[in-house]
Amino acid sequence: MASVEKPADSGDLVLHSLTKRFGTFTAVDEVSLRIPRGSFFALLGPSGCGKTTTLRMVAGLEQPTHGEIRIGEKDVTYTKPYRRPVNTVFQSYALFPHLTVWENVAFGLKRRGVGEIRQQVSEVLELTELNTLAQRKPAQLSGGQQQRVALARAIVNRPAVLLLDEPLGALDLKLRRQMQVELKRIQNEVGLTFVHVTHDQEEAMTMADTIAVMNAGRIEQLGAPAELYENPATTFAANFLGQSNLIRAGVLDRQHDSATVALPTGTVRVPVSRLPADIDKVWVGVRPEKISVHEHPDSGPAGANRIPDAVVTDASFMGVSLQYLVRTPWGQELMVFEQNRGLGKVNRPGDLVCLSWSSDHTFALDAGQDAEAGIELDAEAG
């Protein structure tokens, strides 16, 4: 039986300058991370961004070109997969088709030769609501049930780190939402470190304590979901995580807490804390749901950032919200989401309006970046 260090001895998962090259292609490029023990961590990015390769290196299924992986104090960079205190929930589930659910779940425990297999397996089957299916073979289960077996088979081993490789990718939307809640509940109950790889930003935001946005083998930004969403650090993060309106602008004047920034017409204010230092050419960003539409072309609350004389070019009714495309005086189309609260009138294409949003909701990014970064990728992935 493979000897595996006890999870109790281990702590944070640490990646240091982790790099993986396939020939001349760099899949993972100098990734350094510290994932605290017991946290729910998401690696979010479009397909091909290196997130799965990173995961596979942590699992030991791929050898890093260089760099280091540590779990707690122990360097596991070159440890064989079967000796790592790490388990994976595979995207394809990879359930053993010739074994029953029970045998699948007991597989890891048996290999490690731990006692009380029967009790541990039934506890996990209970947790994942699979007790009634214990004697079935994987082929006799639905997609959602198979997914739960894959999860049960991994968490029963109480690994120091549980890796989830797009575990919900094969499920339909409704089941996916349900399993997101389920996964989060289970993580709370078992208290293991979950590292979740996904291209679904909503999934990452729903479940994770911390998200690392990956792009082209690098980590673009790392933080709590709300922090990432409200303060994207790059245009890629701004576009991949939700949607953003990015307007080309120049910094006119910095005061101690807010700065005045010139749009193509008019000016807006940006909190200095959300403005890159020492850069005058910026993208001014605002999330579509932060913008209000006012019926008169020159109205809106005083002190707010405003774009008067805008024209509605498209209005779609989405049920919970209304989505507008609004053309600014300088010809750029901005996206606006308005909640359907039944107040006020629904604007139609051609209506002359004024847009406004709070200056606190404004962020600014270095204009040296591509404003389109992360847009198509998200559409493709979603």
Which residues contribute to the site for another protein (CB under 8 A)?
A: 1-2, 4, 59-61, 80-83, 86-88, 90, 92, 94-98, 107-108, 111-112, 137, 153-154, 157
Phi, psi (deg, nearest 5) at residue 267: -130, 160
Q: How far is the CB of 119 from another protein (least distance, A)?
A: 19
Minimum gap (Å) between residue 18 Cβ and another protein: 19
Strands (E), the chain: 13-22, 25-35, 40-44, 66-71, 74-75, 86-89, 161-165, 193-198, 210-215, 218-223, 245-254, 258-262, 267-271, 281-286, 292-294, 305-317, 321-327, 333-339, 352-357, 363-366
Of 74 and 254, CB closest to another protein: 74
- CB nearer to another protein: pick between 87 and 356: 87
Place of tokens 């109790």: 8
Give the pair of three-digit tokens for residue 262.
Answer: 């010139």
Torsion of CA 95, 98, 103, 108, to 10 degrees: -50
Asked whether the beta carbons of 103 and 135 are under 8 A apart, the reply is no
Residues contacting residue 185 through CB under 8 Å, at least 6 positions apart: none
User: Residue 113 or residue 382: which is nearer to another protein going by CB?
Assistant: 113
Residue closer to another protein by CB (options 92, 265) is: 92
Nearer to another protein, 1 or 226 (CB): 1
Closest separation in Å from C-beta 85 to another protein: 9
CB of 59 to another protein, least distance (A): 6
Query: Rounded to the nearest whole angstrom, what is the least distance from the CB of residue 65 to another protein in the complex?
Result: 20
